[in-house]
Amino acid sequence: MKPLVLAAAAAAVILSGCAATPEQIAVRQAAEAQAQHRLHLALLAQCDPEAAALAPSPSDSADDAQAAKRAQAYREKVSDPVFQRCYRLAWENHLNQARLQAAAYEMQRREFWHDGFFHPRWFGCRGYRSCYW
């Protein structure tokens, strides 16, 4: 019984060393928010460069009159139905590009494992249907 308790304690110590600290989580979340903001600005710039210039950044303070004017101009540009359709198409294009990249990666991975070391012909092909192409 004692070795089982020691093994469980050792596993707990090892796994706790792999856990992310709150500082690491905060850094990761900040980087994620920054990447989302960059993507938002890139999609805005595809449809209207002026709207991208007027877009508020996460570090902006909204207490002065100039920021209020910029926010109002940004809302007017973004509320246009043509702009919204363009932004939706840009977002769908971004998603489809990501899907294409994932599919290309999956195809390369499958080709590597099919034509690489684990191909059935390396194991003698005894009774495997895939050996008789």
pLDDT per position as a tens digit, 96-107: 999 999 999 988
- pLDDT at res. 20: 78
Residue 132 backbone phi and psi in degrees, to 5: -105, 60
Q: Whole-model pTM?
A: 0.67
Higher per-residue confidence, 3 vs 124: 3
Contact 78, 84 (CB under 8 A): yes
Q: How far apart are alpha carbons 55 and 50 in whole angstroms?
A: 9
- Average pLDDT taken over every residue of the chain: 82
- Would you kindly state where each structural domain of the chain is located, as residue ranges? 27-116
Mean pLDDT across 14-29: 82
The confidence score (pLDDT) of residue 21 equals: 85
Reply yes or no on whether the pLDDT at 116 is more than 70. Answer: no
- Distance of alpha carbon 68 from alpha carbon 58, whole angstroms: 15
Using CA atoms, how far apart are residues 72 and 95, in angstroms rounded to an integer? 29
The encoded tokens of residue 44 equal 């805005």
